[in-house]
Chains A and B, each alone.
Chain A
């Protein structure tokens, strides 16, 4: 086995990176793959609470990097999925505690034992972003259909291109289909036109996502939620399957999105 390392990043904060990492990690683990996710947001850790693993933390990423524990000791196994692990961020340190080469070393040690390493990047384009993308084989950009989020996403795409990380994939999060229909929100097609990268997911606005994080049980486990299916489909696309997009009620868009766009 040799894991693929994927970094989820966005530029702007609050667009849903952590929720996306948690749900993709669970969705990939549900297919039987071995998955480890790393919370890269040192000082502002949150992936642990979204996954409901906050009470199990003993060691964290900085403990590993500074040699206070072995990598295995910092890996928290999920409560239900035995093939899913979390490496939490340190809460009382800052981004200077980790370097890009530290992250490369940690990921290289994980690669032989996993199918996927998912890294939750901190917001911004400074040091935290730099170490989060250093080990990435592929990047996923999460954005919202909103001017500031799209603009920041474009900046980050430019930085990833400059780092020769290839063209990242795009997840549009919190799309409100009703507002799009009233022409009061950028459509998925608008965002894809503006950013010009490959779309791999459109996550509709859904109350169940918040309810799921309240409970520490990612929405992808909620069988009644549309967003659960959306995240499962993104996971399948990451695995190379050609999965049609769910029709969220935005007719005409879907056929265009798949007629030869990269």
Chain B
């Protein structure tokens, strides 16, 4: 309910927006391209192991000035498949 939420202070918006913008500037990867990459990765992995595509998290993270692509892919238990 965005209408009733009190506006957050602008410094926080600046911080959050810059964090995203800088990651994409540094990697030269737009959010749309990142989505394509994620979907392709999920599709490849799903071909080999059983996963829940909705539980997969693939994010660009940074430490200092270094960026990394971090994937968290929970595997489905083989037992449940039967």
> Which residue numbers of A lie inside 8 Å of B, CB to CB?
146-147, 150-151, 154-155, 157-158, 161, 167, 180, 182-187, 190, 194, 196-197, 262
**Complex Cα distance A182/B9, Å?**
8
List CB contacts (< 8 Å) of B19-43 with chain A: 19, 21-22, 25-26
- Extra contacts besides A158-B26, A194-B19 (5): CB < 8 Å: A151-B21, A185-B11, A186-B18, A190-B15, A194-B22
Residue on A nearest B28 in the bound complex, by CB: A158
Interface contact B18-A151, CB-CB below 8 Å = yes
Considering the complex, give the chain A residue whose CB is closest to the CB of B17: A147
- B65 CB within 8 Å of chain A: yes
**What string of 1s and 0s marks CB contacts (under 8 Å) between B54-82 and chain A?**
00000000001100000000000000000
Please indicate the chain B residues that have their CB under 8 angstroms from the CB of A157 in the complex: 65
Q: Tell me what chain B mostly uses at the interface: helix, strand, loop, or mixed.
A: helix
From residue A188, how far is it (CB to closest CB) to chain B in Å? Answer: 12
Chain B residues positioned under 8 Å from A155 (CB to CB): 25
Contact of A154 among B14, B17, B25 (CB under 8 A): B25
Q: A154-B26, A183-B9 are in contact. Are A161 and B15 (CB under 8 A)?
A: no
- Contact partner of B11 (CB less than 8 A), chosen from A150, A190, A196, is A190
With CB as the reference atom, state the residue of chain A lying closest to B22: A154
Q: Once the chains are docked, how many angstroms separate the CA of A186 from the CA of B21? A: 15
Q: How far is the CB of A95 from chain B (nearest CB, A)?
A: 24
Residues of chain B at interface, number, CB under 8 A: 15
Which residues of the other chain, B, contact A146 by a CB distance below 8 angstroms?
14
CB closest chain-A residue, reference B13: A147
A194 close to B15 (CB less than 8 A): yes
A155 to B24, CA, bound (A): 11
From B26, which residue of chain A is reached at the shortest CB distance?
A: A158
Pair B14/A147 contact, Cβ less than 8 Å: yes
Assess A184 versus B9: contact at CB under 8 Å? Given A147-B14, A151-B18: yes
Residues in chain A near residue B22, CB distance under 8 A: 151, 154, 194
Q: Which residues of chain B are near A194, meaning CB under 8 Å?
A: 15, 18-19, 22
Give the Cβ gap from B48 to chain A, nearest Cβ, in Å.
Answer: 36
**B18, B19, B21, B25 — most chain A CB neighbours (10 Å):** B18
Q: Is the CB of A187 within 8 A of B64?
A: no
Contact B25–A151 (Cβ < 8 Å): yes
A252–B25 Cα distance when bound, in Å, is 31
A157-B65, A196-B64 known; A183 and B18 CB under 8 Å?
no
A154 to B30, CA, bound (A): 17
Q: Which of B11, B25, B64 touches A184 (beta carbons < 8 Å)?
A: B11
Can you offer 14 A-B residue contacts whose CB atoms are under 8 A?
A147-B18, A157-B65, A158-B26, A161-B65, A180-B11, A183-B12, A184-B10, A185-B10, A185-B14, A186-B11, A186-B18, A190-B11, A194-B18, A194-B19
